[in-house]
Amino acid sequence: MAEKNKLYYGDNLGVLGNYIASDSVDLIYLDPPFNSRQNYNVLFAEKDGTRSASQITAFKDTWEWNEEAARSYEKVVENGGRVADAMCAFRTLLGGSDMLAYLAMMAPRLVELRRVLKETGSIYLHCDPTASHYLKLLMDGVFGAQMFHSEIIWKRNSAHSDAKRFGSVHDTLLFYSKGLEPFWCTQYQAYEPEYVEQYYRYKDDDGRRFMSGDLGAAGLQGGGYEYEWKGITRLWRVPISTMERLDRGKRVFYTRNGIPRVKRYLDESRGMPAQDVWTDIEALKSWMKERLGYPTQKPEALLERIVRASSNEGDVVLDPFCGCGTTVQVAQKLHRRWVGIDITHLAIGLIKNRLVTTFGEDIKKTYDVVGEPTDLEGARQLAEENKFQFQAWALGLVEARVADSDRRGADRGIEEKSSSTITPDKLNKLCFPSKEVRVSRIQSFISLAYFPLSAPRSAPSSRLLIPPGP
């Protein structure tokens, strides 16, 4: 039986080191926090529709140069090699700064990611202009400059007003490979309207657009076929039988001088091989169905292009900063195997929910979740460590999630699919199916959360919701 897909809760550095074998992954997409100095919060909605002050910090995008960062820096430098050289150069340039702290966080992770990639594997690092220039140098250090393939500019928005500078509307994806011959499958994108106007300028009577292609073979290597066609004798690039077939099928177009040319229809074209500037994939907007309300969620179309270009069916796709699981979702849809890692229970809960919503209940049998509490003690520990993480985890158990306040409006409580409140009994069944575990223990388990699920204390009117049931 094929190995199950894996969803890991935890810090990706530890998860990679402890669980992911060397040379085992075909494609990595990573979308780490960019050091944009923001905390990405998922807000609770108030009853009146306003945004509540209470929120879960989904993840932090702020790094500080502190002892921990310095330790991480020293460790990378001690290991020597090109990565250490790059980090030392950054230290000279940036001093003990927040940017250096960010790069010191990224460096060991990129080294681990290179280790787990197969020789034919590829990696796409998604970043933005805040750090893309440093990250490219770091990637050169880790993978080697000769393993660089593309710097993809993804135009997210059509316009952005930024005071006193050009509007910032793009992200950057750095595409590298581990070996010199990574797997590749050319992807196509629709032609730009100007290109269509210029080259597909002919139309059939029914409006079908086409461009005309040469049928002459003059100058072609390998010669051609010499015969007379409609009064013109020359070297043609197709034999006469093909010319007759094309003509019968009304696929030959005659110029004003009577020269035959072949019609190439726009609707039969695969489009243009995808270039490194992507303007045809829209960022998610609040009204889009795909949107889950997770900050920084990426569109599936973006991942589809990457997954199709750099992996085959059955290959393993890894996302070590998987957020609400766009990569996981796309890998599943395109019949790849997958590994997702995230450090928040909110993200893990959302992914589980997203997978069931799209692929049905049976999907649960095809993957394992690693790193979540599996017993009361683990749950207690999580609640003590972090009430928000605990809450996100507990909600995930009942396929509930934090409200996307932009889209859903306010007045939804923590509800189960049946619309009833989560009771200790239900949590008991969901968390600890064994009969010996008593309901009273579950009551104490729930009271561990500083935010009791049925009546949030510190944010009385805050709301959480689950997606509509099937």
Ligand X SMILES: C[S@@+](CC[C@H](N)C(=O)[O-])C[C@H]1O[C@@H](n2cnc3c(N)ncnc32)[C@H](O)[C@@H]1O
Residues forming contacts to ligand X in the complex (CB under 6 A) are 11-12, 31-33, 59, 294, 296-298, 321, 323-324, 326, 341-344, 347
Smallest gap from Cβ 20 to ligand X, in A, equals: 13
Cα(327)–Cα(294) distance, rounded to whole angstroms?
A: 14
Which residue's CB is nearer to ligand X, number 72 or number 344? Answer: 344
Q: Other C-beta atoms within 10 Å of 361: how many?
A: 9
Tokens encoding 328: 């996981």
Which residue's CB is nearer to ligand X, number 139 or number 422? Answer: 139
Which residue's CB is nearer to ligand X, number 322 or number 427? Answer: 322
Q: Other C-beta atoms within 10 Å of 311: how many?
A: 26
249 burial class (0-12, 13-18, 19+ CB within 10 angstroms)?
A: exposed
End-to-end CA separation in angstroms for the chain: 30
Cα(310)–Cα(306) distance, rounded to whole angstroms?
A: 6
Smallest gap from Cβ 423 to ligand X, in A, equals: 30
Closest to 294 in 3D by CA, of 269, 326, 320:
326
Length of the chain: 470
Smallest gap from Cβ 241 to ligand X, in A, equals: 53
Which residue's CB is nearer to ligand X, number 90 or number 294? Answer: 294
By beta-carbon distance, which residue lies closest to ligand X?
323
C-alpha distances in Å from residue 453, one per residue of 37, 348, 394, 421: 31, 18, 9, 9
Which residue's CB is nearer to ligand X, number 11 or number 399? Answer: 11
Smallest gap from Cβ 297 to ligand X, in A, equals: 4
Which residue's CB is nearer to ligand X, number 316 or number 442? Answer: 316
Alpha helices in 66-184 (DSSP H): 67-78, 81-94, 98-116, 132-143
Count of H helices and E strands in the chain? Answer: 15, 21
Smallest gap from Cβ 341 to ligand X, in A, equals: 5
Smallest gap from Cβ 406 to ligand X, in A, equals: 16
**Residue 406, phi then psi, degrees to nearest 5:** -65, -40
Q: CB-hemisphere CA count at 13 Å for 194? A: 0
Closest to 320 in 3D by CA, of 341, 303, 295, 337:
341
Closest to 61 in 3D by CA, of 34, 95, 21:
34
Cα(93)–Cα(83) distance, rounded to whole angstroms?
A: 15
Closest to 224 in 3D by CA, of 211, 236, 241:
236
Smallest gap from Cβ 12 to ligand X, in A, equals: 4
Which residue's CB is nearer to ligand X, number 302 or number 383? Answer: 302
Q: In sequence order, what are the residues at sequence separation of 6 or more whose Cβ sits closer than 8 angstroms to the Cβ of residue 357?
A: 467
Cα(65)–Cα(138) distance, rounded to whole angstroms?
A: 18
Which residue's CB is nearer to ligand X, number 26 or number 342? Answer: 342
Please say whether the beta carbons of 464 and 400 come within 8 A.
Answer: yes
Tokens encoding 137: 């140098």
Smallest gap from Cβ 154 to ligand X, in A, equals: 12
Which residue's CB is nearer to ligand X, number 12 or number 35? Answer: 12
Smallest gap from Cβ 172 to ligand X, in A, equals: 14
Which residue's CB is nearer to ligand X, number 403 or number 446? Answer: 403
Note the Cα 287 to chain centre separation in Å. 19
Which residue's CB is nearer to ligand X, number 304 or number 342? Answer: 342
Cα(317)–Cα(330) distance, rounded to whole angstroms?
A: 10
Smallest gap from Cβ 347 to ligand X, in A, equals: 5
Smallest gap from Cβ 85 to ligand X, in A, equals: 24
Which residue's CB is nearer to ligand X, number 111 or number 215? Answer: 111
Smallest gap from Cβ 307 to ligand X, in A, equals: 13
Cα(22)–Cα(115) distance, rounded to whole angstroms?
A: 5
